[in-house]
Amino acid sequence: MNTMAAPATRKRIGVLISGRGSNLAALLRNECGGDVVVVGSNKLDAKGLELARDAGIDTFAVNHKQFPSREAFDQSLIDELTARSVDVVVLAGFMRILTPVFTDHFAGCLINIHPSLLPSYPGLDTHARALADGVKLHGCTVHLVTSVLDHGPIIAQAAVQVDDDDTAETLAAKVLVQEHQILPYAVRLLCEDRLQVDGLRVSIRSVGAGLGRAVSEAAG
Ligand code: GRF
Interval 151-169: pLDDT, tens: 999 999 999 999 999 999 9
> 64-82, pLDDT tens digit by residue?
999 999 999 999 999 999 9
Does residue 199 lie in a domain region?
A: yes
- Catalytic-role residue among 64, 114, 138, 143: 114
Domain count of the chain? Answer: 1
Per the structure, the complete domain to which residue 160 belongs is given by: 11-219
Give the domain CATH number at 59.
3.40.50.170
105 is catalytic: no
> 8-23, pLDDT tens digit by residue?
689 999 999 999 999 9
Distance 25 CA to ligand 1 centre (A): 11
**Residue ranges of E strands in the chain:** 11-17, 34-41, 58-61, 88-91, 110-114, 137-144, 154-161, 195-198, 201-204
Does residue 3 lie in a domain region?
A: no
Does residue 46 lie in a domain region?
A: yes
- pTM flag (> 0.75): yes
Query: Taking CB atoms and a 6 Å cutoff, what residues make up the pocket around ligand 1?
Result: 17, 19-23, 48, 92-93, 113-115, 176, 179
The single-letter DSSP state of residue 66 is G
Tell the residue nearest (CA) to atom 14 of ligand 1.
22
Does residue 5 lie in a domain region?
A: no
Confidence at residue 211, expressed as pLDDT on a 0 to 100 scale: 45
